[in-house]
Amino acid sequence: MKKLIANREIDVNEEGYLLDFKQWDREICECIAGECNVVMTEKHWEVIAYLQDKHHKEEPLSIRGIKRSGVINIKEFYNLFPGGPLKKSTLIAGIPKPKSCI
């Protein structure tokens, strides 16, 4: 299905996750973050870059993996992306929802 994000039609699934990462850019990211009530900071961008790197390497994402990453501690991760940090952060990063998320 299509969703209008940043005045562009973007291909998304029923949960709003991008289907084509090539459509993702910082403007799309900022708009999705805004929909999630997240205001992007440098730390947010650092986490997004980490998640995208893991995805492109086809490495599974999990809260436990984030904890061991050295990029961010779990408490800060929950503060940056409240209400389901892994779901929200991957949605904002333009990558599929991890299998570890319900």
Residue 101 designated active-site: yes
* Candidate list 29, 31, 36, 101, residue with the active-site label: 101
Torsion of CA 14, 19, 23, 29, to 10 degrees: 50
- Average pLDDT for residues 17-34, to the nearest whole number? 96
Q: How far apart are CA 34 and CA 40, in angstroms?
A: 9
pLDDT above 90: residue 49: yes
Task: Read off the pTM.
Answer: 0.92
Q: What is the pLDDT of residue 100?
A: 73
